[in-house]
Chains A and B, each alone.
Chain A
Amino acid sequence: MSRVQLISVAKRYGDTVAVRDFTADIADGEFVTLLGPSGCGKTTTLRMVAGLVDPSSGYILFDDQVMNRVPTNKRNIGLAFQSHALFPHMSVAKNIAFGLTMKRRPKAEIRNKVEEMLDLIEMTGYGDRMPAQLSGGQQQRVALARMLATDPRVLLFDEPLSALDRNLRDTLKYSILELQRRTKKTAIYVTHDQSEAFAISDRIFVMNQGRVEQAGSQLDIYLRPATEFVANFVGDNNAISGVIESIASLPDGQRTARVKAGTFELQGYAPDTLDVGDEVLAFVRPENIEVVGQNTQQQADGLVSGMVEQIVFEGPTVRLNVDCDGVLLNVSASGVERLTLLDKGEKRVTLRFRDVSLVKQ
C-alpha cells in the first residue's frame, strides 16, 4: 500500500523529450491509467516508476520517500509486462516463487504462497506446467500471480493485455480490476486502449508527445475534453470551429458559452480559460446529437438543420452523415426513431446538440 507521487518528472534522450514535466499524486489504493498513442511517453513514465529508466529530472516518491536512487529490485513493486515475461526455463510454481526465493523466505512459506496464488488465479494444479504449455491468457494470469506473490507496494501494468485476443482481454481486464480491489494496492496501468482505461480506472491521465494532456475521471475525459487531442483521441467526435459570443455562469459554478459557428449557433461548456472572442473548437459526440425532426425546417434556439448525405444501418444505431451548411456532422441515432430514418425519402433533419465541450483553437 503506497501513495505514489511524481514531481516534475522528465525524461530526455539527447534532444528528444520522452516525458516532460509529469506531476501526479496517486493516492493509496487508487487505480490510475496512463492512456495515449504509442510513443506518447506513457511506458517511459511507468518504467521510471519501476526504476528501469532513470528520470532526467524530477522526483518519484513512494510514501514520501524519494525513490530516484533506489534500484528496481529494492522498490518492492510488481510489474506486468506486455510479453508477460515468464521465465521459460522455470515451471509455473518456480515462476510464482521467484520473488520470494530472491528474498530467501522459508521453503514452507513459499510453497503455501504459491498454492494461495494458484488458487487466486484459478489455476490450482498447474504448478508443474512449463510456461510454453499454457495458453496466452493462462500465461498472463501466472504473470499476475508472480507479481502479487511478493506483496508489492505498487502494481504496475505495461499494456499487459495487448498481446491477447479481444475476448480474453475483456475477461482479464476485469480480473485485474478485481485483484486490485481485493488487494487494495495502488496501481498504475498503461494502455492505448480507451475502453480498457474507461473500464477499470479511478483516474485517467491522457498523454501525448510526452505531456499530460488531461487528468481526470472517465466522465471528465469523455465529456469535458480539455484539449483538441483528448477530444479526438478518446471516442468519435465532431469538431466544429467557431467564435465565442458570450459566456454565462450557471448556478453550479460551470460556465456555458454561446458559440457562433458559421450559419448556426450552439451552446457549450466553457472552461475558465476561455473568453469572449476566442476562436474555439466545439466538440460533440455523435451519440449526443439528437434527431428531433425529419423533413422539417425548424429554426429554434439550439437547433440545427442539415441534409442527410449518407445513412448506414449498424444494428443498434443508425449512423448519419449530415451536411449542416458546409459543416459535416457524424450523428449516431439510437432508439426506435432510428428506424424511421431509414426511409430514403427523408433528406432534411433537424438536430439538437447535447454536452458540447469547447476547446481553445
Chain B
Amino acid sequence: MKEIPVPVSLLEAEAAETSPRRLRRESFTGLGLLTPAIVIVILFSLAPLAYLVLVSFTRESTFFFNNPVYTGGNYRTIVNRYMPHVWTTIRLATLASIVNLVFGFPFAYILARKISYRELVRTLMVFPLVGPLYLAFGLYYVLLPNGPGAPILEFLGINATSLLFSEPMTIFGMALFTFPFMVMNVVAALANVDPTLEEAASTLGAESWQTFTRVVFPLSWPGILAGFLMCFGWNLGVYVVPILLGSTPQQRVLSLTLQQKAMSQFDYGLAAAMGVVLMVLAFSVTWISLRFSRGALGA
C-alpha cells in the first residue's frame, strides 16, 4: 500500500496549534492584557490590606513615625474590651440573614414560578439596592412619632416610636438592603431545578411540602446557602443602619467602632486590628459562599 504524503502546510498548522512556544506567547499576551487590572488590585487593594495587617500590630498611631513599635496589644484589647461589638456584629448579621432567608425564599419561589410581572419586581427591587443610607433614612422618617407610618402601626397595635432605635428595626433595615441579594441567589438556584421535576413529583402522589423537602430543596440548597452567606457577608460590614435605626450602646457594630477609633481618636493600630477581624470574618464567609454558588460571581 502506498503511503499518502501529508501536506507540509498541514503539519505546520498542527504543530502551531500545540507548540509550547505558541502557548507561552498566548499566556504572555493574556497576562499583558491583565496587567492593568492586576496592578491596580495590588496597589489599591492587596497592598493596603497587607499594610492594614501590619499596622494592626503597631501601638496606637506609631506608624506615622519612623520606628513603629510592634505588639499584639491591639488584639488583646479587642478580646478584653471589644468582644461585645464583635458579637453584636455577628448577631445582627446572623439575624438579618435569617430574616432574609425566611422571607426571601418564598418571595423568590413565587417570583420564579408563579408570577409574570418579573420585570416590575426587578425594577422596584432597585430601591433597596441603591443603598442602606437612604433606606435607613426613609424608615427613620416613617417611624417618627409624627411620621406617616405611626398611625398605621398604631392601628396594628404597635408603638412606632418603640420600634425606632430598636434591635428589630435595625435588623429589618439591614435585611431590607440585602433582600435582593437573597432573592436573586435563590432565583438562580431555582433556575437549576426543572419545574417538570416538581410536576413529576406531584403526579407520583407527593404533597407540595413533600415535593419541597424531597425535590426542590435537595436540588437548590447550595444556591440558598450561598445566598444566605452572601447576605451574611454584606451584613457584617453594616455601618449606617444601626446608626440611624438602632441605639449606639446596644447595636454598636464593628464598622462603627472602627471608624470612630480611626477618625475621632486616631488610634489607627486598634482600628486596623478591628479591620483585620472584620476582614477575616467577611472573607471566610465569602470564600465558603463562592464554593457553593459556582458561577454566580466566581465565573
Task: Tell me if B47 is interfacial: C-beta within 8 Å of chain A.
Answer: no
Task: Tell me if A79 is interfacial: C-beta within 8 Å of chain B.
Answer: yes
Q: Which one of A79, A103, A156 has the highest number of Cβ atoms from chain B below 10 Å of its Cβ?
A: A79
> In the complex, what distance in Å separates the CA atom of A79 from the CA atom of B204?
8
Closest to B197 in A: A85
| Residue contact A147 to B196, C-beta cutoff 8 Å | no
Task: Tell me if B210 is interfacial: C-beta within 8 Å of chain A.
Answer: yes
Within 8 A of A (CB), among B133-188: none
| Residue contact A85 to B206, C-beta cutoff 8 Å | no
| Residue contact A50 to B210, C-beta cutoff 8 Å | no
Task: Tell me if B256 is interfacial: C-beta within 8 Å of chain A.
Answer: no
> In the complex, what distance in Å separates the CA atom of A111 from the CA atom of B210?
20
| Residue contact B205 to A89, C-beta cutoff 8 Å | no
| Residue contact B218 to A72, C-beta cutoff 8 Å | no
> In the complex, what distance in Å separates the CA atom of A72 from the CA atom of B210?
13
Mostly helix, strand, loop or mixed at chain B's interface?
Answer: helix
Task: Tell me if A205 is interfacial: C-beta within 8 Å of chain B.
Answer: no
Q: Which residues of B contact A102 (CB under 8 A)?
A: 201, 204-207, 210
| Residue contact A71 to B205, C-beta cutoff 8 Å | no
Q: Return the CB mask of A71-90 against B: 1 if under 8 Å, else 0.
A: 11111111101010101110
| Residue contact A81 to B219, C-beta cutoff 8 Å | no
Q: Looking at chain A, what size class is its interface with the partner chain? A: 20 to 34
| Residue contact A76 to B194, C-beta cutoff 8 Å | no
Task: Tell me if A353 is interfacial: C-beta within 8 Å of chain B.
Answer: no
| Residue contact A76 to B205, C-beta cutoff 8 Å | yes
Q: Which one of B201, B204, B206, B218 has the highest number of Cβ atoms from chain A below 10 Å of its Cβ?
A: B204
Contact of A81 among B196, B207, B210 (CB under 8 A): B196
Given known pairs A85-B194, A88-B219, A89-B219, the reply for A103 and B205 (CB within 8 Å) is yes
> In the complex, what distance in Å separates the CA atom of A129 from the CA atom of B187?
30
Q: Nearest Cβ distance between residue A284 and chain B, in whole angstroms?
A: 42
Task: Tell me if A225 is interfacial: C-beta within 8 Å of chain B.
Answer: no
Q: Which one of A50, A81, A146 has the highest number of Cβ atoms from chain B below 10 Å of its Cβ?
A: A81
Q: Which residues of B contact A156 (CB under 8 A)?
A: 203
Q: Which residues of A contact B197 (CB under 8 A)?
A: 85, 87-88
Q: Which residues of B contact A77 (CB under 8 A)?
A: 203
Q: Which residues of A contact B196 (CB under 8 A)?
A: 81, 83, 85
Task: Tell me if B199 is interfacial: C-beta within 8 Å of chain A.
Answer: yes
Task: Tell me if B202 is interfacial: C-beta within 8 Å of chain A.
Answer: yes
Within 8 A of A (CB), among B243-277: none
| Residue contact B219 to A73, C-beta cutoff 8 Å | no
Closest to A97 in B: B204
| Residue contact A81 to B201, C-beta cutoff 8 Å | no
> In the complex, what distance in Å separates the CA atom of A98 from the CA atom of B196?
15
Contact of B203 among A78, A87, A89, A103 (CB under 8 A): A78
> In the complex, what distance in Å separates the CA atom of A108 from the CA atom of B185?
40
Q: Which residues of B contact A79 (CB under 8 A)?
A: 199-200, 203
Closest to B210 in A: A102
Q: Which residues of B contact A89 (CB under 8 A)?
A: 218-219
> In the complex, what distance in Å separates the CA atom of A86 from the CA atom of B11?
47
| Residue contact B203 to A83, C-beta cutoff 8 Å | no
> In the complex, what distance in Å separates the CA atom of A31 from the CA atom of B299?
50
Q: Which residues of A contact B210 (CB under 8 A)?
A: 102
> In the complex, what distance in Å separates the CA atom of A235 from the CA atom of B200?
34
Q: Nearest Cβ distance between residue A54 and chain B, in whole angstroms?
A: 14
| Residue contact A150 to B204, C-beta cutoff 8 Å | yes
Q: Return the CB mask of A119-146 against B: 1 if under 8 Å, else 0.
A: 0000000000000000000000000001
Q: Which one of B201, B202, B214 has the highest number of Cβ atoms from chain A below 10 Å of its Cβ?
A: B202
9 A-B pairs closest in CB distance: A99-B204, A85-B200, A79-B203, A72-B202, A102-B205, A85-B196, A73-B202, A102-B206, A73-B205
Given A81-B200, A89-B219, A98-B206, 6 other A-B residues pairs in contact with their CB atoms under 8 A:
A50-B199, A72-B203, A73-B206, A76-B205, A77-B203, A102-B205
21 A-B pairs, CB-CB below 8 angstroms?
Answer: A71-B202, A72-B203, A73-B203, A73-B205, A73-B207, A75-B203, A78-B203, A83-B194, A85-B194, A85-B196, A85-B197, A87-B197, A87-B201, A98-B206, A98-B214, A99-B204, A102-B206, A102-B207, A150-B204, A150-B205, A156-B203
Seen from chain B, the residues whose Cβ lies within 8 Å of a Cβ on chain A are 194, 196-197, 199-207, 210, 214-215, 218-219
